[in-house]
Structure 1
Amino acid sequence: MNIACVVRLGNDSDIEKELKNLVRLGLHSCQLISWDRKFYNSEKNAQKVKEVTAALNVQISAFWCGWEGPKFSNFFEGPMTMGLVPEAYRMERLISLKEGSFFAKDIGVSDLATHVGFLPEDPKDPKYAGTILALKELMKVCEANQQYFLFETGLETPATLLRAMEDVGSEFLGVNLDPANLLRYGKANPIDAVEMFGSKIRGVHGKDGFYPTSGQEPGEEVRIGDGRVNYPLFLKKLQEVGYQGDITIEKEITAEKIRDILYTKQFLQGLLEKM
């Protein structure tokens, strides 16, 4: 397993500068994130990303594709605004994710990831059925591009996510496992989730947090090692299920966050060296 960090880009970003910032931290792998459709609809940007990553010897493990419209992470507005689940935004966001798939193809990245939303646990919920249909439509594009689509975990239980993957019915589906999100949304213990998802795990975020303390807001995100994720056991379980990919630090590389990134990198390196 390697340590990586997210790199977030928009249409006005200095692509070379942002990727050089990654390398200055001693990291050569990232998940590329963009919530800006103008950015990932640009052939010029795709070509620039390819040129800079090649020059800097940086690998992109996944393109994390955001979408337009409102998004709230709490337990009230979240189900109405996040991902493909809300019918009001579903079709436009499906178009965005298809565009993201072609961008990922253009930059030579095999994995596309996003938050699908608060998947209903009731399979007979109309929002569940509509989301599955949209995902089937998305997978036509991903499969044609020889590309995996990764569900970011946390907004639904692992069992619900596994059922959704079965109902979509594609071999090109995987999981971007965020252990902190699973805790913060009260959905699962991350150790158990690793065992449930097994070989479906294609990406992992390095974050930490606590369970919710109310029924309104997610639990607190905290510095890695200070929360409820048992990282020594978590990493061991990932190894046991055969995961060999990146542990990606999910903090944007800005001046005020560099200290946190370096601390997280050191924390993870210490644990990985003992394995």
Structure 2
Amino acid sequence: MSEPKLGAIHYNWPGYDLEGFARRASEIGYKFCEVRASDIWVDDSVDGAHRAEEVREMLDGYGMAISAVEIGNDFLQADPADLEMQIARYCQRCNVIPLTGCDIARSDGGWNRNNQVPQDQWDGMMLDAFKRCADILEVSGTRIALDNHGITTNDGDWQLSLIERVGSDRLGVNLDTMNYRWFGHELSSIDRFYQILAPHVFHVHMKDGIGSRENYKGAELGGGEINLSHAVSLLQGVGYEGAWTAEYEGPEAEGGVGYEKCFTWLSENI
């Protein structure tokens, strides 16, 4: 049995730039990480392909590899031209991702910023966008790991339905273990979501906490109410081989303390 890939997301590390994050995370023991879109696509003046190789080499110097790249997409757009731009940029960025040494585009569905897109249009808009992207990604070999996030994609039944309707092995899930609870789902429903989605999981955010919406409080792994062991068992049962990526939103972010506690849990439970 191969050694589990224990990782951390480059998120909520106050006071650390990307290299500082890599240094501290590697000191803790992490060997994999998810990088942010802004780590690679800094601005329009920076060549994404060149930057991707730079980031890969820098992380390698700290004994770390990239498990996934946040792509920074938003497929809920009121203006059709803006949606076309989002799809084109998504596909361009997916061509860059293999240069980081991984094949996972950690993707959002959409955020509906400023509430400009009626809810009854969300499903069709995201379905069409992911169908188009999945067809194009057959060339680059990149895989789409759709996150359950916010109020637009945080439903396991809907995620499975989307995967089935898109009908491409390029589309799977980035399973965030806490976000369903943040949305308001009951713990029993969340455990069922883990079960039905496990065969489609490409990447994982191991996250814990308590409560929903305004009552949500983040915690270190094992310090909240999420049935993490159930998620781990199901994923191991289907042969998940990706990274177990910690995401910490608790009160001890300074100095990476919370992520250090998460690493201890991962080391003892994966």
Please say which of residues 36-45 and 170-179 is displaced more in the overlay. 36-45
Question: Which ranges of structure 2 fall in alignment gaps of 5 or more residues?
Answer: 113-118
* Cα contact 1:210–1:219 (8 A) shared by 2: yes
- For 1:55, the equivalent position in structure 2 comes to 61
- For 2:130, the equivalent position in structure 1 comes to 135
- Structure 2 residue matching 1:103: 3-state secondary structure: helix
Structure in which a larger fraction of residues adopt helix: 2
Q: CA deviation at 1:220?
A: 3.2
- For 2:190, the equivalent position in structure 1 comes to 190
- For 1:201, the equivalent position in structure 2 comes to 201
Quote the Cα distance in structure 2 between the aligned partners of 1:231 and 1:6. 17
Quote the Cα distance in structure 1 between the aligned partners of 2:126 and 2:197. 21
Q: CA deviation at 1:116?
A: 0.6
Question: Which ranges of structure 1 fall in alignment gaps of 5 or more residues?
Answer: 68-82
Q: CA deviation at 1:256?
A: 0.8
- Structure 2 residue matching 1:113: 3-state secondary structure: strand
Count of residue correspondences = 246
| Amino acid corresponding to residue 195 of structure 2 in structure 1 | E
TM-score by length of 2: 0.79
Is 1:220 aligned to 2:190, yes or no? no
Quote the Cα distance in structure 1 between the aligned partners of 2:91 and 2:156. 25
Deviation per CA, 1:12-69, whole angstroms, max 9, x where unpaired? x9654442332222211111122474358423312212322343332211111124xx
Please say which of residues 239-248 and 146-155 is displaced more in the overlay. 239-248
* Cα contact 1:113–1:150 (8 A) shared by 2: yes
User: 1:153 pairs with 148, 155, 164, which one?
Assistant: 148
Quote the Cα distance in structure 2 between the aligned partners of 1:228 and 1:91. 40
Quote the Cα distance in structure 2 between the aligned partners of 1:95 and 1:218. 38
- For 1:46, the equivalent position in structure 2 comes to 52
- Structure 1 residue matching 2:254: 3-state secondary structure: coil
- Structure 2 residue matching 1:175: 3-state secondary structure: strand
| Amino acid corresponding to residue 191 of structure 2 in structure 1 | I
- For 2:210, the equivalent position in structure 1 comes to 210
Q: CA deviation at 1:184?
A: 0.6
Quote the Cα distance in structure 1 between the aligned partners of 2:206 and 2:51. 27
* Cα contact 1:41–1:103 (8 A) shared by 2: no
- For 2:115, the equivalent position in structure 1 comes to none
Q: CA RMSD in A?
A: 2.9
Q: CA deviation at 1:102?
A: 2.0
- For 1:239, the equivalent position in structure 2 comes to 236
User: 2:10 pairs with 7, 13, 17, which one?
Assistant: 7
TM-score by length of 1: 0.77
Q: CA deviation at 1:114?
A: 1.6
Q: CA deviation at 1:202?
A: 1.4
Quote the Cα distance in structure 1 between the aligned partners of 2:222 and 2:160. 28
| Amino acid corresponding to residue 270 of structure 1 in structure 2 | E
* Cα contact 2:218–2:248 (8 A) shared by 1: no
Q: CA deviation at 1:185?
A: 0.6
* Cα contact 1:195–1:241 (8 A) shared by 2: no
* Cα contact 2:195–2:234 (8 A) shared by 1: yes
| Amino acid corresponding to residue 21 of structure 1 in structure 2 | R
